[in-house]
Amino acid sequence: MTLTADRSAWKTVLALAGWLLLCFSAASLGAVFMPGDWYLTLKKPSWNPPGWIFGPVWTALYTMMAVAAWLVWRRGGFAAQRLPLALFLTQLGLNAAWTPLFFGLRRPGIAFIEIVLLWLAIAATLASFRPVSRVAAWLLAPYLAWVSFAAMLNFALWRLNS
C-alpha cells in the first residue's frame, strides 16, 4: 500500500469511529434520564416489552445508524451529501431529545409529539439515503420500525396515564 492509501484507509476507519461515537453520544442521555420509580408506577399496555430488551435493541440500532451515516459520508463527505447528513443529524438530535422529555420532564404527551417528529425525520433521512446508498437506507429500516412501535407505546402510556 502507498502512503496515500494508508492515510485514506485510516481516514475511513476514523470516520466510522466518529459516527459510532456521535450516535452513542445521543444514546448516553439514557444513562442520565433513567426510567426510575416514576416509570414503574405508570399503567402500561399488555404489549409493553420487558425492560431488558431496550439495551440490546438500541445498541444494534445505534450501530446500524452509525454505519448508515458512514456509508453515505463515504460518498463525498459533507460537501457532497449535505442534505442526507443534515437530515441524519436532525433525526439524531430528535432521538436524543426524547429521553429527557419522557423520563426527565415526565411529559409523555410532549414526548409523543416529539417522537412523531422523530419518525418523520427518520423517514426523510431514509428516503434521502436511498439514492446515495441502498444499504444505508436499509440499515435505517429497523430503526424506523422500532420508532413506529415506540411511538405507539408512547401514545398508549400517555393515554393510560392522563
Average pLDDT estimate for 21-38? 89
Q: Which three cell numbers stand for residue 154?
A: 408512547
Residue bearing cell 443529524: 89
> What integer pLDDT is reported at residue 6 of this predicted model?
64
Integer-rounded Cα Rg, in Å, for the chain is 17
Classified as helix, coil or strand, 77 is helix
10 band by pLDDT with thresholds 50, 70 and 90: confident
User: Which residue, among 84, 47, 48, has the nearest Cα to 68 in the 3D structure?
Assistant: 84
- What is the pTM assigned to this prediction? 0.92
Question: What is the percent of the chain where pLDDT is above 70?
Answer: 96
At the top level of CATH, the class of 3-160 is mainly alpha
pLDDT tens for 33-90 read 888 899 999 999 999 999 999 999 999 999 999 999 999 999 998 999 999 999 999 9
147 band by pLDDT with thresholds 50, 70 and 90: very high
> What integer pLDDT is reported at residue 5 of this predicted model?
60
> What integer pLDDT is reported at residue 36 of this predicted model?
85
Average pLDDT estimate for 16-32? 92
Q: Average model confidence (pLDDT) for the chain?
A: 94
> What integer pLDDT is reported at residue 92 of this predicted model?
98
Higher pLDDT, 144 or 9: 144
Average pLDDT estimate for 85-102? 97
Residue bearing cell 401514545: 155
